[in-house]
Amino acid sequence: MGKLRALIFDVDGTLANTERDGHRVAFNRAFASSGLNWNWSVLLYGELLAIAGGKERIRFFIDEYRPDFEYPTDLDQFIADLHATKTRYYQQLVAEGCIPLRRGVKRLLKEAREQGMRLAIATTAALPNVTALLDHTLGSDSQSWFEVIAAGDIVPAKKPAPDVYHYVLKAMNLEAQDCLVFEDSHHGLLASSQAGLKTVVTVNTYTRYQNFSGALLVLNHLGEPDQPFTVFAGNAGDRIYLDMALAYHLHGK
């Protein structure tokens, strides 16, 4: 077992609960402003999350839920434009402070940085959405905390394919065994485990009952000293929040 050299974070659902009150709302605003009478309810969006990537999700929705939709001549361009509008709405929501970081995230990042731990991001979401979230929650210099931010179309095959994780490992010149990943979803866990990476899962309402076999630990959140986590699977011993000591312990298992 190699030494722990890097933490790799997913963004949506992991750093922040972005999906229900962020991405979903932004999609709906983009539909409305584009004259489309589409509305993704909280429930429907849970189903659509099976498709990773905003552009891919829109295409899937058209194909599966809107058989009546008259395809524009250039469907790719139509989807790209709609998604660009959605991205602008999402950034507005983030700038308004609608999407806070999840419990324990800021504390763990701070401790990791103090120890000189290398950090990276591996996400399916588009890069401007990631940088907007980092800027507004962690400060304008926080992009530089992450040695690699692998986002959106940087790899053609999005999660659950492992490609984005392979990309990060290559860019950091690290082996899978050197890292610990933080994810929130079954798709994310599939991606990281297929790349051979050990993974901690912090679930959210959309992912609580997904299959997380193979995860080192499944938690409701990372916890804080005064707000302990709940362990859904795995063994955290007598720890009540995830700090670097627990990260090292889990990685060494």
Site of interaction with Mg ion (CB under 5 A): 10, 12-13, 184-185, 188
Nearest of 8, 1, 58 to residue 172 by alpha carbon: 8
Angle at 99 between CA 98 and CA 100, to 5 degrees: 115
Q: Which CB sits closer to ligand XBP, 164 or 236?
A: 164
Would you count residue 10 as binding ligand XBP (CB under 6 A)?
yes
Q: Which CB sits closer to ligand XBP, 33 or 227?
A: 33
Kindly state the smallest distance separating residue 185's Cβ from Mg ion, in Å: 5
Residue 181 DSSP SS3: strand
- What would the x/- binding string for ligand XBP be over residues 203 to 232, using CB under 6 A? ------------------------------
Would you count residue 166 as binding ligand XBP (CB under 6 A)?
no
Q: Which CB sits closer to ligand XBP, 148 or 236?
A: 148
Angle at 86 between CA 85 and CA 89, to 5 degrees: 90
- The answer to whether 137 and 17 have CB atoms below 8 angstroms apart is no
Q: Which CB sits closer to ligand XBP, 94 or 126?
A: 126
Q: Of the ranges 93-101, 124-132, 142-150, 172-180, which one interacts with ligand XBP (CB under 6 A)?
A: 124-132
54's CB contacts (< 8 A; 6+ apart) are 23, 27, 83, 86, 87, 125, 126
Kindly state the smallest distance separating residue 229's Cβ from ligand XBP, in Å: 20
Report the residue number whose CB is nearest to ligand XBP.
Answer: 54
Which entry of ligand XBP, Mg ion, none binds 54, CB below 5 to 8 A by partner kind?
A: ligand XBP
Would you count residue 188 as binding ligand XBP (CB under 6 A)?
yes
Angle at 52 between CA 102 and CA 48, to 5 degrees: 90
Nearest of 134, 121, 125, 123 to residue 179 by alpha carbon: 121
Residue 145 CA to residue 110 CA, distance in Å, equals 10
Would you count residue 12 as binding ligand XBP (CB under 6 A)?
yes
Q: Name residue 231's amino acid.
A: V
Residue 184 CA to residue 15 CA, distance in Å, equals 9
- The answer to whether 139 and 109 have CB atoms below 8 angstroms apart is no
Kindly state the smallest distance separating residue 44's Cβ from Mg ion, in Å: 18
- The answer to whether 57 and 46 have CB atoms below 8 angstroms apart is no
Would you count residue 187 as binding ligand XBP (CB under 6 A)?
yes
Nearest of 249, 251, 244 to residue 108 by alpha carbon: 244
Kindly state the smallest distance separating residue 226's Cβ from ligand XBP, in Å: 28
Would you count residue 19 as binding ligand XBP (CB under 6 A)?
yes
By annotation, the residues acting in catalysis are: 10, 12
Q: Which positions lie near ligand XBP, rule CB under 6 A?
A: 10-13, 19, 23, 52-54, 123-126, 129, 159, 185, 187-188
